[in-house]
Chains A and B, each alone.
Chain A
């Protein structure tokens, strides 16, 4: 009987696995894909869970140790993830950081100090 129930669930599980990103009744965040590179510096699942810890550790190395351009450099994140339209990760609602953070309702204050714009774009603006 129990085995029968389990067997009935199998096709559903298979369908979900096949769908990849699950389209269910809850709305999903609309995240723009990165514009550069084939893959991130780490697995998306790992990044989703731990990017804040990586950044927090990295920032001490940069500020206190003077090490720049290491694996989890924020500037490097922005280089790949900045939107094609806005050249920013935080300007429009679909831009990379804001889309997920507004979906998860987790307020970040990184961009009160760090510019969310790609370096080339900032040079344009400065001129």
Chain B
């Protein structure tokens, strides 16, 4: 082959290759365009750590506003049979030595070092970037090891068929579930959980929800000012839920 011919052929191949690449890439570029155009909401950020502060001095025995709100928000039945899931419950405690009583709402404590995440064989139990501990029900096989591992009995196993789920809270038989800190509301930009909102609406103001990593948030101010503690702090799990008045 003489030089000019080879150059022409190479040149042609080069242009053809560029053209082919362009034709193949163009649809992909178009797809990416469309995806970005949608502006989806949410996105967990690791700079945030969601937490709660519960003032038990404001909790009345017999008041279950937070429990009812959670049930409505998440589509739970509200039943209390041993097989019914309970994401939050009120525990009435009495100190053995002194007789002092308190009424405490307990839910998933959203630990920074969650034992339920360590033991899950498929990784369905996981901690999100913003500190919320969740169950990915697509991967959950229902082995209940996380229920065994949780020191707070935060997780429930769904023992029977579920119908009439809330559209933002899919839940079904055979998987394990627990308090999600109303993650569907948080992701949509709502600043608080159903239980905190209901408690505030009823005027008790016992539950504060917010970003523990933001020094100017209300919850951060409060935990700096008042004495609060974590449940079973000796286990060093660093829960995101703190209690005042215990």
Contacts and interface: CB of A to CB of B under 8 A. Distances in A.
Report whether chain A binds chain B: yes
Interface of A: 41, 59, 62-71, 73, 75, 78, 112-115, 117-119, 122, 125-126
Contacts, number: 80
Contacts of A114: 165, 167, 170
Contacts of B165: 113-115, 122
Given A69-B38, A70-B35, A126-B72, A63 B136 contact: yes
Contacts of A126: 72, 75, 164, 166
B10 interface: no
Given A66-B43, A66-B128, A67-B42, A115 B166 contact: yes
Interface of B: 34-35, 38, 40-44, 72, 75, 126, 128-130, 134, 136-138, 161-162, 164-168, 170-175, 183-184, 186-188
A71 B35 contact: yes
Given A67-B41, A70-B35, A75 B136 contact: no
Contact of B138 (A63, A70, A117): A63
B103 to A, nearest CB: 28
Contacts of A63: 134, 136, 138
Contact of B187 (A59, A68, A71, A125): A68
Nearest to B44: A66
